[in-house]
Structure 1
Amino acid sequence: MVMAWGQFIDHDFIRTPISSGGLKMKGNGLPGRPTGCVIDQSPNDYCYHAGDERVNTVPSLGTTHIIFLRDHTRIANELTNINPMWTDEIIFQETRKIISAFNQQITYGEFLPVLLNEKLMKNYGLNNAPCHSDVYDETVNAATGNAFDVAVFRFGHTLIPHFQGLMNDDLVTIEKFKTETTFNRPFLIQKANGTNQYFMTRWMTVGPAGRMDRIFEKAILDLLFVDSNGDSFDLPSLNIQRGRDHGTPGYNDWRRWCNLPRATHFGSNAGGLVNHTPDNAMRLGNVYQDVDDIDLFAGGITETHIEGGGIGPTFACMLGRQFKNFKIGDRFWYEQPPQHLGGTGFTKGKYKKIRQL
């Protein structure tokens, strides 16, 4: 979401006006929101200002923004020293290009292989290339599919842990917070002159996460954004309702789209919900009157994982196709050769450095 809504794509409103090619910062972190902040905890606290308006929702999201912000500034400073004649605009655009390449390298090199097995990574052409590769196809639409947005990629909500925490240099947890107590509290990473940002990053890197299954933490079921009246939201139900509001076809329709067998009954045997355990199939049968009524999110999130992967076959198919389109439909994909589009690709040396991430 940093790349989709953050300051590195279309929302460069926190770009610094001075000639540095960098982005606005407050100390070593994100700038404060000039207006509209209603979650101050004390006079010294402030709301973050970023391309994603949810940057203050949970401290881990704010930390992610800060990581990319600092890296942008670091690279911009290095490019300025190496190329003193470059204009601010050139430095900014080159830095953004490098940051985008970092994100693509990490996503396709580390994130997707955890979700998809080796066979699917190969079938969809998602593995990072050892050298330059011209994969661009101008006939491919790289836009995000609606069903992917409102259902498939929200599988991550099952990974939300019960606690958020801070971890020191020795990877020892020094403080933990129940996740529901961290909503709209950016000051948790502003404390100690911002050093909590480092502690939060370590926790995010090696701390425990939830399992990708139908189980959700209470923090996002009954305790999400509790108001003064005790009313709250339920994130999984919001996901389902969003799919309905968008007119997203049901689970069975997407099974057919993926060339997977449609279910005709609520059993887990042949002709039924064959990628579900008997228990999960029964639970869906207790909620829906007909198998064709099963919502995509509910059906996908309850599937048994593919062998060697972290999601079920329906979500794996939809995710694989979407990320294939992201890759081959992107004319600025980072693996493109140097001469691509009049010299917009990375040189061999730069590409090698990016691949070392």
Structure 2
Amino acid sequence: MDRLVGWDRLPTPFGLATLFGLRLRLRDRNLHDTSGLPAVNTPPLEAPSARHLVNRTADGSYNDLDDPAMGMAGSRFGRNIPLACIAPATESEVLTPNPREVSRALLTRTSFVPATTVNSLVAAWLQFVIRDWFSHGTSPTEDPWVVPLAADDPWMQPPMRIMRTPDDPTRPPGATDLPQTRVNVLSHWWDASQIYGVSADEQKGIRTGKAGKLLPLPDDPAKDPSRVPGFWLGTEMMRTLFTREHNAICDRLRAEYPTWPDEELFQRARLVNAALIAKIHTVEWTPAVISHPTTKAALRANWFGLEGERVQRLFGRLTDSEAVSGIPGGKADHYGVPYSLTEEFVAVYRMHPLIRDHWHLRHVADDSTARDCDFRDLAGPNALPVLNDIGMADLLYSFGTLHPGLVTLHNFPRHLQEFRRPDGNFQDLAATDILRSRELGVPRYNEFRRLLGLAPAKDFHDLTGNPEWAEEIDHMYRDIENVDLMIGLFAERLPAGFAFSDTAFRIFILMASRRLNSDRFLTDYYTPAVYTQAGLDWVADNSMSTVLLRHHPQLRSSLASVVNAFAPWTTSGV
């Protein structure tokens, strides 16, 4: 049905059935384990303890009590393709065609193309949750990829150097016969590690030590977050908001359990906050960016099942079936493959076009101008004066009333093509994104589609409905089989209501549910005994809108008529 008609062209009930079938097929064919490959110097596990039954560990270990290293920080990324299909990272493979030329010719934002159905909190949220999910770590400074530059290229620091992804430290030396692998330095679980860190030392540095609460910022000035690559205003706004939410959860739990010590309040509040973030992403963020009627129903079914939220509130889970009653509170299931995030999941989340170049920041009270900024004014240490001078409610209002960019060709932020890192070096993130997928062995577009059970593009005109783009891609690649995954994702026709591609959506179909299915704290242990009934009620009763209004009630008029907080807000005075 998907091939003949397309899931998005079917009536919603048939489209839902088709998506469920696709998920079953993808679970069967597109989960591939790297954890069984030979490994050395694997991350140490702390000794098992009774607290592991009911607390998330800092590093993600002991989520699966039978396989405590599964998904922990420092474990390998999995794959959604057979390991034999991982392309080798040879110089020819990584540098052909030239990633800088691809960036300039196909990705440069000639004029801003907005995604008009959503607001810029979509971009801030995505960068925020990515910092929970995956990171390949800090690149070594030696032996970078050297990218040749055209004679007319205005690059500030010729030649262009792009640091390599760190090698897999668990790969046995000399194991050239094994497929290349990398490790995720973050926990693979949906555990809000972008707030809580992935080590005991990181957690100690963010806690007040009283009533389970968190500090607004780490207490060590040497750990200035604005100096970490990737820091910008949007991610800091979200981190601050959900730090405050953690503290509000602590207040609620302390009112219910006044004798609880700091550690107990912290651990329960962390569980609740992480689950709330997972819920917001599942039933609000994702349906906002892929707002097709079928996908909105499917994503809500991931959380509430086909029985729906109202029935679940009245009667609880009706069955053990995830299709009927949703994944949270059901049975954990790895579908025969140890859980991990995958390199292909990383690749499809490269959505930098969501970020605007120009930001008109305004006051929520009357929509008057607070400051006009370029993105460089909001990134790294440059963001601190903005954070200090403009109130958080005004910043949230500005993001809520500004559109992000559409994830498409010729819409990559110019400021990210000449991004100045905290260390003073410049980086073309568009060229880097292209190079990274090649370096990590992610297949090119057509092969990627084949491995997901999709028909490949026959030619450049079949790839995209835009004849001008087809000619430009042909000029760059010459052979349709050479087209990079990201270029194909950005060029292909979008289903109605989608801000990104249907091909990328296939990885979402598989991995969005898998992150819930495999996590015992969102399945078997999603119970009052672990969370408390007050904690489960907090997750059930709250949304992105209620979180925003709890901490910034002056946003009420802008959110009053908005069903989803990631949709465009009402402008003050309108």
Both proteins in one fold, TM over 0.5: yes
In the alignment, is the contact (CA less than 8 A) between 1:303 and 1:311 conserved in 2?
no
1:249 to 408, 420, 443: 443
1:206 aligns with 2:386: no
Give unpaired runs (5+ residues) of structure 1.
Answer: 37-46
1:18 to 205, 209, 215: 209
Structure 2 residue aligned with 1:186: 383
Q: For residue 188 of structure 1, what is the amino acid of its counterpart? A: P
Residues 32, 213 of structure 1: CA spacing in aligned structure 2 closer, same or farther, 3 A cutoff?
farther
Residues 294, 147 of structure 1: CA spacing in aligned structure 2 closer, same or farther, 3 A cutoff?
same
Structure 1 residue aligned with 2:473: 284
Q: For residue 353 of structure 1, what is the amino acid of its counterpart? A: D
1:265: how far off?
2.6
Q: For residue 474 of structure 2, what is the amino acid of its counterpart? A: G
Q: For residue 3 of structure 1, what is the amino acid of its counterpart? A: D
1:119 aligns with 2:294: yes
3-state SS, counterpart of residue 316 of structure 1 = helix
Tell me how far apart the structure 1 counterparts of residues 393 and 333 of structure 2 sit (CA, whole Å).
41
1:31: how far off?
3.4
Q: For residue 196 of structure 1, what is the amino acid of its counterpart? A: G
Q: Once the two structures are superposed, what CA deviation does each residue of 1:57-92 show, in whole Å capped at 9, x if it has no partner?
A: 322222221111111122213322332211211100
3-state SS, counterpart of residue 493 of structure 2 = coil
Tell me how far apart the structure 1 counterparts of residues 493 and 289 of structure 2 sit (CA, whole Å).
13
1:144 aligns with 2:341: yes
Structure 1 residue aligned with 2:246: 72
Q: For residue 228 of structure 2, what is the amino acid of its counterpart? A: E
Structure 2 residue aligned with 1:352: 540
Deviates more, 1:303-312 or 1:86-95: 303-312
Deviates more, 1:344-353 or 1:111-120: 344-353
Deviates more, 1:316-325 or 1:116-125: 116-125
Give unpaired runs (5+ residues) of structure 2.
Answer: 1-129, 134-192, 318-324, 547-574
1:120: how far off?
3.9
Tell me how far apart the structure 2 counterparts of residues 128 and 122 of structure 1 sit (CA, whole Å).
10
1:239: how far off?
0.5
In the alignment, is the contact (CA less than 8 A) between 2:275 and 2:539 conserved in 1?
no
Residues 256, 102 of structure 1: CA spacing in aligned structure 2 closer, same or farther, 3 A cutoff?
same
1:208: how far off?
2.5
Residues 98, 349 of structure 1: CA spacing in aligned structure 2 closer, same or farther, 3 A cutoff?
closer
Q: For residue 205 of structure 1, what is the amino acid of its counterpart? A: G
1:135: how far off?
3.8
1:160: how far off?
0.6
In the alignment, is the contact (CA less than 8 A) between 1:15 and 1:23 conserved in 2?
yes
Tell me how far apart the structure 2 counterparts of residues 34 and 302 of structure 1 sit (CA, whole Å).
44
2:486 to 271, 284, 297: 297
1:13-52 correspondence runs (5 A): 13-16=204-207, 18-25=209-216, 30-31=217-218, 33-35=220-222, 47-48=224-225
Tell me how far apart the structure 2 counterparts of residues 307 and 331 of structure 1 sit (CA, whole Å).
35
Structure 2 residue aligned with 1:39: none
Residues 110, 123 of structure 1: CA spacing in aligned structure 2 closer, same or farther, 3 A cutoff?
closer
* TM-score (normalised: structure 1): 0.80
Tell me how far apart the structure 2 counterparts of residues 190 and 125 of structure 1 sit (CA, whole Å).
34
Tell me how far apart the structure 1 counterparts of residues 388 and 210 of structure 2 sit (CA, whole Å).
30
3-state SS, counterpart of residue 187 of structure 1 = helix
1:320 aligns with 2:449: no
Deviates more, 1:129-138 or 1:312-321: 129-138
1:303-314 correspondence runs (5 A): 303-314=492-503
Tell me how far apart the structure 2 counterparts of residues 349 and 68 of structure 1 sit (CA, whole Å).
17
Structure 2 residue aligned with 1:40: none
In the alignment, is the contact (CA less than 8 A) between 2:332 and 2:524 conserved in 1?
no
Structure 1 residue aligned with 2:426: 232
1:145: how far off?
1.3
In the alignment, is the contact (CA less than 8 A) between 2:282 and 2:300 conserved in 1?
no
3-state SS, counterpart of residue 222 of structure 2 = coil
3-state SS, counterpart of residue 332 of structure 1 = helix
Q: How many residues align?
A: 326
1:261: how far off?
0.8
Measured on the aligned residues, the alpha-carbon RMSD in Å equals 3.0
Q: For residue 115 of structure 1, what is the amino acid of its counterpart? A: V
Indicate the structure whose relative CO is greater, using CA pairs within 8 Å and at least 6 residues apart: 2
Q: For residue 370 of structure 2, what is the amino acid of its counterpart? A: I
Tell me how far apart the structure 2 counterparts of residues 118 and 3 of structure 1 sit (CA, whole Å).
29
Tell me how far apart the structure 2 counterparts of residues 126 and 277 of structure 1 sit (CA, whole Å).
34
3-state SS, counterpart of residue 279 of structure 1 = helix
Q: For residue 316 of structure 1, what is the amino acid of its counterpart? A: F
1:284: how far off?
1.7
In the alignment, is the contact (CA less than 8 A) between 2:250 and 2:265 conserved in 1?
yes
Tell me how far apart the structure 1 counterparts of residues 208 and 531 of structure 2 sit (CA, whole Å).
27
Residues 84, 323 of structure 1: CA spacing in aligned structure 2 closer, same or farther, 3 A cutoff?
same
Structure 2 residue aligned with 1:42: none
Report % sequence identity: 19
In the alignment, is the contact (CA less than 8 A) between 1:14 and 1:23 conserved in 2?
no
Q: Once the two structures are superposed, what CA deviation does each residue of 1:306-355 show, in whole Å capped at 9, x if it has no partner?
A: 1232222111112222112112222222797637xxx3366374453246
In the alignment, is the contact (CA less than 8 A) between 1:335 and 1:351 conserved in 2?
no
1:158-177 correspondence runs (5 A): 158-170=353-365, 172=367, 173-177=369-373
In the alignment, is the contact (CA less than 8 A) between 1:62 and 1:186 conserved in 2?
no
Q: For residue 65 of structure 1, what is the amino acid of its counterpart? A: R
Structure 1 residue aligned with 2:414: 218
1:113: how far off?
1.1
Q: Once the two structures are superposed, what CA deviation does each residue of 1:153-177 show, in whole Å capped at 9, x if it has no partner?
A: 112x111112234332236142120
* TM-score (normalised: structure 2): 0.52
1:259: how far off?
2.1
Tell me how far apart the structure 2 counterparts of residues 104 and 310 of structure 1 sit (CA, whole Å).
20
Tell me how far apart the structure 1 counterparts of residues 300 and 363 of structure 2 sit (CA, whole Å).
39
Residues 208, 32 of structure 1: CA spacing in aligned structure 2 closer, same or farther, 3 A cutoff?
farther
Tell me how far apart the structure 1 counterparts of residues 366 and 492 of structure 2 sit (CA, whole Å).
34
1:329 aligns with 2:526: no
Deviates more, 1:281-290 or 1:122-131: 122-131
In the alignment, is the contact (CA less than 8 A) between 2:356 and 2:375 conserved in 1?
yes
Q: For residue 24 of structure 1, what is the amino acid of its counterpart? A: L
